[in-house]
Structure 1
Amino acid sequence: MAALSLVAVVAGMLLQEAGVADAQTLRAGYYDQTCRAAESIVFDEVQKAWNADRSIPASLIRLHFHDCFVNGCDGSVLLEASDGQAEKNAMPNLSLRGYEVIDRAKARLEAACKETVSCADILAYAARDSVRVMTGGYVYAVPGGRLDGTVSRATMTGDLPPPTQRNVDQLAQYFTRKGLSLDDMVVLSGAHTLGVVHCGTFSYRLTNDADKGMDAAFRNDLRRQCNNNPNNVVALDAGSPYGFDISYYGSVLSNRTVIESDAALNPPKTVARVRQLQANPSLFTDSFAAAMVRMGNLRGCNPGKVRVNCRRIRT
């Protein structure tokens, strides 16, 4: 095993350009016969991480999202490159966290079922289990059978939706290009009921004339929390930063969102769905689970394999 080399990168890109498709078949209970403890091991590691750090579920959900939106859900965001230019080194990914949770789960799974459970599947299960620990037990079936990609380049991250995008139509294109819908965008944005963001990401919104749509009292509160320090962090959902709930959608409706891509959900095209989700907690959790499964089915062209170490390709 070695850090991702430029030779491997080039070879992987050639496979992509040739349109080589993988033969993955995703299904629930994928490891029932080959590694029965797979999902329970991942859940145990997520729960232990959550017990130590209440912010980790948001990080694991985000890690899965950033993986899937770049060449499909293939665990490529976990890879390290010999030249320091893997996906995780790209600007949108520099604040990603949770890698060590995946590493710990992988180490246990290698001891229990050698070379069987892919890092991409571990990441998908960990995202699901992040919802499970935050809701006190809400669980949904996540199909398994993903293979681990062998290509990871910082230059490939242009498909990630930017937090500075306010136009709902342009924002939706990032999702529809992946085969996801406008509704998937609204529902998956609900993940921002968890997590924090650095003030430097949205400080441009805090001047009086920059964003007349933001609630004035909320803007003043953000100014106080940021205190002109771009490294300070604030909760994406001030209503319940550690609760997986509908508070986020209430923030959208009241113009109290921190980043512009969340404010983008308030126009007529999406606001009716936002109101639906804000009024019905079970509708939100069920819709979120279904959208996460659809996102988790995104594929790339990389044929892939099961890695032994999630940070290294197999040589």
Structure 2
Amino acid sequence: MAKPAFVMAASTAVVVSLLVVSCGIGIASAQAAGLKKGFYKKSCPQAEAIAQKVVWERTAGNRELAAKFLRMFFHDCFVRGCDASVLLDSPTNTAEKNAAPNLSLAGFEVIDEVKAELEEACPGVVSCADIVALAARDSVSFQYKKNLWEVETGRRDGTISSDQEALSNIPAPSSTFDILLINFSNKGLGLQDLVVLSGGHTIGIGHCNLFSSRIFNFTGKNNPSDVDPSINPPYAKFLQGQCSRNLQDPNDNTTVVPMDPGSSLSFDNHYFVSLKAHQGMFTSDATLLTNGRAANIVDKLQDPGVFFHSFKNSIKRMGQIGVLTGTNGQIRKKCNAVNSS
């Protein structure tokens, strides 16, 4: 994954981020005006039930889908807003899904299945952007058999998808705290959202090549056992064992490790317990402990009740980023292609 193109001194970064977030929240609120709970109540009353049925059926057979759909939603919203641009193929340019951060995305066929059933029930009514938002909620909620958060609907689909925009906007796992804060602030999200949404790493896997520099030859002095001192030593040893292939080939992108060992299929607050024990996999995880305010939020999120309440609020805000509503955008007939005129 590519780092954002800009890097600022820490003091400047914080000042800029605070200015940006104050503007971004106003923009996000205005854009979100077209979203509401039960948007399809009259136009397609069974829309959410149909989406949940398909997603739950597929998640029952593949529990990894929860992490995949949550990541798909995040990556969609951070590029051009939550407009399903991440789903587009493009015959004329390289689309978002072909950018390095998105090459490991999966579950597109399930999105297509949901779309096909909704088109049969209510042709031209339910957007692909809303399907992505619902799939994230429904797949994560499957283990609890109840909705963990409310999804406002009413999004419309975008018509542009660019790999370069994905590279510029999706936070990198090597990002420092100040870079992450700016990246989130640019989307109208604050410090609380940054820390809370990082908790999505409680499910899913991480590719060794994205963090192997932390566990092998960290200082570049040709000492393979040289490890980032911010990592808990037993955890570093565990990661070294799992990622031993990357010692010989740092570019190997096939070796993976659960991001939250022992709890990688369970959506819970265990990520923050592990993080506090210095068992954050990526630099972007560990860096949350380098800022006092962020570290205080990490402490609070070790309470399960606080985590679930906070997560539903932050992911609702994330789902409002750059949305197209009203007459903007379109309702795609197929999620991977723009409607022909």
Pick aligned residue for 1:224 from 241, 245, 257: 241
Pick closer, same or farther for the CA change 1:103–1:185 going to 2, 3 Å. same
Please give the per-residue CA displacement for 1:24-50, whole angstroms capped at 9, x wherever unaligned: 711000000010111111111111111
Q: CA separation in 2, counterparts of 1:97 and 1:114?
A: 25
Which residue of structure 1 aligns with residue 317 of structure 2?
Answer: 294
- Aligned 8 A contact 2:32 2:323 in 1: no
1:164 matched residue in structure 2: 174
Determine what percentage of the aligned residue pairs are the same residue.
42
Q: Secondary structure of 2:301's partner?
A: helix
**Distance in 1, Cα, partners of 2:38 & 2:133:** 13
Aligned residue identity for 2:295: V
Match in the other structure for 1:4? none
Distance 1:26 1:206 in 2: 44
TM-score by length of 2: 0.82
> 1:1-315 to 2 correspondence within 5 Å?
25-83=34-92, 85-157=94-166, 158-165=168-175, 167-207=176-216, 208-229=225-246, 230=252, 231-267=254-290, 268-278=292-302, 280-299=303-322, 303-315=328-340
2:288 partner SS: coil
The separation in 1 between residues aligned to 2:289 and 2:49, in whole angstroms, is: 39
Distance of aligned partners of 1:211 and 1:312 in 2 relative to their CA distance in 1, 3 Å threshold: same
Counterpart Cα distance in 1 of 2:32 and 2:238 = 51
Cα offset for 1:172? 0.9
Q: For residues 168 and 135 of structure 1, what CA distance do their matches in structure 2 show? A: 32
Classify the secondary structure of the residue corresponding to 1:197: strand
Question: Partner of 2:109: helix, strand, or coil?
Answer: helix
Task: Provide the C-alpha distance between the structure 2 equivalents of 1:89 and 1:24, rounded to a whole number of angstroms.
Answer: 32
State the Cα RMSD in Å: 1.7
Q: How many positions carry a matched residue from both structures?
A: 293
Q: How much does 1:173 deviate?
A: 0.8
Q: Structure 1: 5+ residue runs without aligned partners?
A: 1-20
> Gapped runs of 5+ residues in structure 2?
1-29, 217-224, 247-251
Separation in 1, partners of 2:46, 2:53: 10
Provide the C-alpha distance between the structure 1 equivalents of 2:78 and 2:339, rounded to a whole number of angstroms. 23
Deviations, residues 163-216 of structure 1 (Å, cap 9, x unaligned): 011x21221111001110010000000100000011111111112434111111
Q: Which amino acid aligns with 2:257?
A: V
1:13 is matched with: none
CA distance in 1, matches of 2:191, 2:154: 27
Residues of 1 paired with 2:299 and 2:145: CA distance? 24
Using the TM superposition, name which of 111-120 and 22-31 deviates more: 22-31
* Alpha-carbon contact 2:137-2:151 (below 8 Å) kept: yes
Code of the residue aligned with 1:220 in structure 2: it is K
Q: Structure 2 CA distance, aligned partners of 1:213 and 1:135?
A: 34
